[in-house]
Amino acid sequence: MEKTDRNISRRNFIRLGSLSGAALTLGLYMPAFGKENEAEILTSVRAGERGIDLNAWVSIDTSGKVTIMNHRSEMGQGAYQVVPQMVAEELEVDLNQVNIVFAPGNGRVYGSQITGGSSTVRGAYRQLMQVGASAREMLIAAAMKKEGWSRGDCYAENGFVIHRPSGKKYNYGQLVEEASRMSPPSNIQLKSPRDYKIIRQPLKRQDIPQKVNGTATFGIDKRLPGLLFAVVERNPRFLGKVKSFDDSQTKKVPGVKHVLKVQMDVFAMKREGVAVVANSFWAANEGRKLLKVEWDDSGFEHLSTEQLYSRMKEDLSKPGYSQRTGGNAEAALQKADKKLEFIYETPYESHSCMEPLNCTAWVHDDKCEIWGPIQGPDWIQDDISARLGLKPENVTVNMTFLGGGFGRKAFTDYTHEAAVISKEIKAPVQVIWTREDDMTQGPFRPGNMYQCKAGLSNNGRITSFQFKMAAQNMGHQEPGADKTMYNDSTVEGFLEGYFEALPHYSFSDVPTESPVPVMWWRSVYASTNGFAYESFMDELAHEAGKDPLDFRRSHLRNERYHALISKLEEVSGWKSRGKNEGWGVAITECFKSTVGEVVKVSRKADGKLKVDKVIAVMDCGWYVNPDIIRQQVEGSIVMALGAATKHETHFLDGKALERNFDVYKMPRIADIPEIEVHIMENDEKPGGVGEPGLPPLSPALCNAIFDISGKRIRKLPFNLEEV
């Protein structure tokens, strides 16, 4: 792939591709504040005539070079590959001949740019492919006009329009001037999957060579003329205030330029700290070590882990806010032939991205420009324009590659902090969070406790299913939040198909109050809900005397679920498992995708447990690149394994304890089992890929441990060597 400036501005992108009609540039105009389903395809020429600020998705210049805009961030999940891959399929170009450019943040122009909820493909796949198809048809029409050819005699392939009878062909670059004067066609018929040449192919990712040879620009790599560096000493108790600080020794460090108090909004809370700004990160960090801050930590609770979970347990005894009910679960439970009730517990977790938080900002002349590892550039543009009182068009948010995100880099605190410091010191600044900052400041994945109750009939059918969650409600942290509102993610992870078969059910939550800030983590609440749901489902199957897969199948009516279960049964060899082996299964659903996983465990010579293999089957409907799906499922399984058996964040006296990887242990290569991933083939609408592979791992693993040991694990994390 040819190199290009991945931080090129949208305005220059359009200018480079549309001056004097020298290129064909197409985009989507979204008149209703970025609603993708109301998008209209326009050329840059037509957009200019109508005074529209166009999102230029595709531009082809007179040399035939194709530039494709990627509106979503790339944090390892593959958006940098799949967005161009979708466009290139309909455009009929080789992806290796395409320049890929990150779009700047602008939700009014690009629609939703948030890379979260595994939404990149499922959010706008048809619109993106229609842009590629429109460009292709316009180029074919230009060739037809030039030669008088009929449409039936022409086709596009590999960047050329070819006349079938004569073999004569035109490079796209030779046709763009004529095509740019045309209007995009309406009612374009997209390809059938059987005709795909690029989609569904395991094409090599375009970002990998850059990341291997060091040319990829991550947020922490950004450099500007006159750039200063800042670190911030933040209150370790989240809500504490800066009472006073002594910077006399800090200012003696060579290179230190400024020391100033900063205050950030974290949801409805305030986070205070003292920033040290210097001409190098080293100098800023050395100055920080000499800074003396006196904190005011009065007026709020200083909770420890034990107090948090004790509070959650108390909350489980309270009436919950109901998200979803059917029938009368409590009355049915009382009449059940068998009753089961268990409590499951999951930990607080840090995001611990390999690239810690960082952001570069330059505020000057009533403008602000941001560069950084950002999951939601449109959110950042809106947030900073509101907080600094700037027009949205005067806030430019440039995406770089992200060294991991997992939801943390969709938040707005670290970008606003950099902008505030830049404005105060009147210079460009890069704020870098150390690993210790990143791990101790949060926001964290919330810890959870779950009360699961169910009734069974003598023939092994679930007659009542009750689920209550006690945990911090992320939505309740927002300014002005309605704290009587239920958690709308209580059913996240539960198979939608179960609701058709369960006659009586109840899903509710009790919001636990705490000053600890919490937020999204990979697969959000499904990452914890799934453990409780599918562990409990296995306990019900055991009580009913049923095979765990057969038990799930019998409570699902939809053939799509049955197909996945049959596939999982086949590829895992489920029916051939031996008596002395440990096999566990779990099936969860989130972001419109369903994933089933079978885990196999065994005893080593020393009697300790070993995870031998994980077999995963993903049903994500229509998909783009099978290799990326496998990569994401594998990565999700590794991350879930760590959360189940290795790490958690503890609190003592209101402070997070785990500060670095010496105590927040990560799985090592030797800990990772063989992972086998299978993809269901069907014509369903696309679901997410980056997150749904995570929730089934922990319950499948724990169910396998029960199978081999008879021991039920209802609290995470656990030490695999101590089971």
pLDDT per residue as tens digits for the range 707-717: 999 999 999 99
pLDDT at residue 580, rounded to an integer: 78
Domain match, 340 and 282 both: no
Number of domains in the chain: 3
pLDDT at residue 1, rounded to an integer: 37
- State the residue for tokens 């529209």: 52
The radius of gyration computed from the CA coordinates of the chain, to the nearest angstrom, equals 27
Q: How far is CA 711 from CA 174, 451, 706, in A?
A: 70, 19, 5
Whether residue 1 is contained in a domain is answered as no
Contacts of 589 (CB under 8 A, 6+ apart): 493, 494, 495, 496, 595, 692
- Closest-CA residue to 395 (of 404, 386, 403): 386
Domain match, 421 and 452 both: no
Residue 589 has pLDDT above 60, yes or no: yes
Last residue in a domain, options 191, 213, 235: 213
Last residue in a domain, options 380, 400, 432: 432
- State the residue for tokens 């619109």: 127
pLDDT in tens, 670-713: 999 999 999 999 989 999 999 999 999 999 999 999 999 999 99
- Mean pLDDT for the chain? 94
Q: Tokens in use for 394?
A: 């005067």
Whether residue 305 is contained in a domain is answered as no
Domain match, 692 and 591 both: yes
Domain match, 204 and 223 both: no
In the chain, pLDDT over 70 holds for what percent of residues?
96
The more confidently predicted of residues 1 and 222 is: 222
Segment 556-573 mean pLDDT: 98
Q: How far is CA 563 from CA 558, 599, 679, in A?
A: 9, 19, 12
CATH number at residue 16: 3.30.365.10
Among 101-115, 135-149, 419-433, the least confident range: 101-115
Strands (E) located in 256-313: 256-266, 269-278, 292-296
The more confidently predicted of residues 188 and 644 is: 644
Whether residue 712 is contained in a domain is answered as yes
Whether residue 361 is contained in a domain is answered as yes
Give the neighbor-by-neighbor strand order of the sheet with 462-471: 321-326, 505-511, 462-471, 448-456, 338-346
Task: Place 40 in a pLDDT band, splitting at 50, 70 and 90.
Answer: confident
Residue 20 has pLDDT above 90, yes or no: no
Among 20-34, 145-159, 182-196, 397-411, the least confident range: 20-34
pLDDT in tens, 287-346: 999 999 999 999 999 999 999 999 999 999 999 999 999 999 999 999 999 999 999 999
Among 32-41, 229-238, 401-410, the least confident range: 32-41
pLDDT at residue 25, rounded to an integer: 94
Domain match, 141 and 196 both: yes
Domain match, 320 and 451 both: yes
Query: What is the value of pTM for the model shown?
Result: 0.94
Query: Distance of alpha carbon 392 from its chain centroid, rounded?
Result: 25
Task: Place 37 in a pLDDT band, splitting at 50, 70 and 90.
Answer: low
In the chain, pLDDT over 90 holds for what percent of residues?
88
pLDDT in tens, 336-388: 999 999 999 999 999 999 999 999 999 999 999 999 999 999 999 999 999 99
Q: Is 171 exposed, middle or buried (0-12, 13-18, 19+ CB in 10 A)?
A: middle
Last residue in a domain, options 190, 213, 236: 213
Domain match, 380 and 336 both: no
Whether residue 694 is contained in a domain is answered as yes
Contacts of 372 (CB under 8 A, 6+ apart): 219, 222, 358, 359, 360, 398, 399, 400, 414, 415, 418
Domain match, 466 and 366 both: no
Domain match, 339 and 367 both: no
Rounded to whole angstroms, the Cα distance separating 346 from 644 reads 9
Domain span at 79:
10-213
Whether residue 671 is contained in a domain is answered as yes
Contacts of 266 (CB under 8 A, 6+ apart): 238, 413, 443, 517
Whether residue 310 is contained in a domain is answered as no
pLDDT at residue 18, rounded to an integer: 39
Residue 14 has pLDDT above 60, yes or no: no
pLDDT at residue 236, rounded to an integer: 96
Segment 524-534 mean pLDDT: 98
Domain match, 109 and 42 both: yes
Among 102-116, 236-250, 255-269, the least confident range: 102-116
Domain match, 51 and 188 both: yes
pLDDT in tens, 483-515: 999 999 999 999 999 999 999 999 999 999 999
Segment 26-36 mean pLDDT: 65
Domain match, 684 and 593 both: yes
Task: Place 38 in a pLDDT band, splitting at 50, 70 and 90.
Answer: low
pLDDT in tens, 118-147: 888 988 899 899 999 999 999 999 999 999
- State the residue for tokens 């009878």: 165
Whether residue 258 is contained in a domain is answered as yes
Among 2-6, 244-248, 380-384, the least confident range: 2-6
pLDDT at residue 44, rounded to an integer: 87
Task: Place 10 in a pLDDT band, splitting at 50, 70 and 90.
Answer: very low
pLDDT at residue 248, rounded to an integer: 98
pLDDT in tens, 165-181: 999 999 999 999 999 99
Task: Place 13 in a pLDDT band, splitting at 50, 70 and 90.
Answer: very low
Residue 266 has pLDDT above 50, yes or no: yes
